[in-house]
Amino acid sequence: MKMKYFYQQMLAFFVVMITLLIIMTIIFLEFTRNSTYHDTEELLFGYAEALVDGDLQEDQLEDAQFVLQNQDVVVTVFNSGNQMVYPSTQVPYSSGISDENFAQLKNGERITLTVQNKDFFGNHVDIALVYLPFFSQTNGNFAGFIGISSPISGIEDSLREMRSNLFTAFIISSLGAIVIALFFARYQVGRINRLRNATHRVAKGDFDVHLESSGQDEFDDLAKDFNSMAQSLQESQEEIERQEDRRRQFMADAAHEMRTPLTTINGLLEGLEHDMIPENQKMRSIQLMQNETRRLIRLVNENLDYEKIRSNQIYLRKQSFNAHHALGTIVEQLKGKAETANNQLQFSCSEELEIYADYDRFVQIIVNLVQNAIQFTEDGLISITAEKELEGSIITITDTGIGMTEEEVRNIWERYYKADASRKNTQYGESGLGLAIVHQLVQLHGGKITVESEVGKGSTFTILFPAKSKLTIPSQQ
């Protein structure tokens, strides 16, 4: 049977309260009953002891009986032979107690409150009575016992009145329990509905949700976890949107970069096909097509490289090699590009410096960084330095270019990100993948790359290639 949580909470709390009330009522009634019988027993023993202390004189017994008759208390005295001596009757009566109880009385033990359905005269009436032995003052022998009885009806009347009062209190308490259960259930369900409404907002794509949490119970812990979830979803959504923007920008850039060389190649091919290009310009046209083809290949290779690195499909063949020779070769290759932008390219490295890395990937890392420096520097200086440290080899590439803002420094390793969108149409660095590839390759080497930059003053990239003995397994990101 389907039942709303509100009614479940209300019913559960009500059942708990009613169960507690029933248990407390039963315990209280039993306690009251025992207390009533105990008080009656002590009262009757008090009467008996007072009469025994008065030597059980007949006139004293008569006075006591007269006083107690309003309470329906009956006084009887039995001799040592278990025969009634007071009140005096023509027919002898005995107490009717068992031999075991009579033996207890002879031993000086008193018999506590008992209930029987006949009085000492054989009349059918429910009575509660006690027996108290007394002894001869001359020789101390057992002389008999006194019995004090009281009708059960008086005790039961008191208990019945008590039960009636308790029942009234039980009804009032039950109504109070219903009211308390109603407010308690409404409070708990209100907290759940608050969380439910927040969940609906998140389901509709609204992640700017925050639930108040005081940390008092599991509901507050759940609200705290929900806030963390909503924040993570919001950050993930923002990251997805940021990546999607970059993907769209990349597709637009890639289409533009591919269209330009393809248009050039197509135009030159048509010119060659229709013999529209002079003979002395044909070789130049072929060289232009080769350059544009290499440009397309570079664009495709950068994307393939990045995806291979991301999917852990690249195997590094690490070895120790001479850093001076490797850097010198790179500088020689890129010197022409640097001179095109009126830049000076220089490097400083000990001739004995060894680096432990994959040679081809090392070259790829340095070439990407140097080309990036050339791209954003004009009439400036680009310097490469290499030195040995305890942790490994440090390569530093510094330029005096346009520099970057703090936001650009934070995002520079992101895929498709370009620090200066106004200069994206250059002959290298078209895809926005170069620095992302550098970052991934450095991590694969177990190394670390950092950048410091200031707008208008240039940037410095620092790369640590760990020594072979210090190498640790890099984490994939």
- 403 within a domain of the structure (yes/no): yes
Angle at 96 between CA 90 and CA 99, to 5 degrees: 130
What is the number of alpha carbons within 13 Å of residue 145 lying toward its C-beta?
25
Quick one: 423 and 444 in the same domain? yes
Helix intervals (H) in 321-405: 323-340, 359-375
Quick one: 286 and 430 in the same domain? no
Quick one: 289 and 391 in the same domain? no
Of 198, 214, 215, 470, the residue nearest 356 (C-alpha): 470
Residue 248 banded pLDDT, cuts 50, 70, 90:
confident
C-alpha distance across the termini of the chain, in Å: 50
User: Average pLDDT, stretch 286-290?
Assistant: 86
pTM: 0.46
- 411 within a domain of the structure (yes/no): yes
- 135 within a domain of the structure (yes/no): yes
Determine the 3-state secondary structure of 408 from DSSP.
helix
Burial class (CB in 10 A: 0-12, 13-18, 19+), 125: middle
Contacts of 172 (CB under 8 A, 6+ apart): none
Q: How many CB atoms lie within 10 A of CB 147?
A: 22
The pLDDT of residue 90: 75
Query: Measured between alpha carbons, how far is 48 from 51 in angstroms, rounded to an integer?
Result: 5
Quick one: 278 and 372 in the same domain? no
The pLDDT of residue 449: 93
Partners of 145 in the β-ladder: 78, 133
Residue 449 dihedral angles phi and psi, to the nearest 5°: -130, 135
CATH code of residue 409: 3.30.565.10
pLDDT in tens, 350-405: 988 999 999 988 998 999 899 989 989 999 999 999 999 888 899 999 999 998 98
- 188 within a domain of the structure (yes/no): no
> Which run of H or of E encompasses 341?
none
Whether pLDDT at 161 is above 90: no
Among 137, 159, 181, give the residue marking a domain's end. Answer: 159
The pLDDT of residue 423: 46
Quick one: 83 and 130 in the same domain? yes
Quick one: 360 and 425 in the same domain? yes
Quick one: 294 and 324 in the same domain? no
Most confident residue range from 59-68, 70-79, 269-278, 361-370:
361-370
The pLDDT of residue 426: 46
Query: Measured between alpha carbons, how far is 421 from 46 in angstroms, rounded to an integer?
Result: 109
Quick one: 294 and 340 in the same domain? no
Quick one: 320 and 465 in the same domain? yes
Domain that holds residue 253: 218-307
Residue 471 dihedral angles phi and psi, to the nearest 5°: -70, 135
pLDDT in tens, 305-346: 777 776 677 788 899 999 999 999 999 988 888 988 899 999
The pLDDT of residue 93: 79
Most confident residue range from 170-179, 211-220, 411-420:
170-179
- 187 within a domain of the structure (yes/no): no
Query: Measured between alpha carbons, how far is 153 from 77 in angstroms, rounded to an integer?
Result: 23
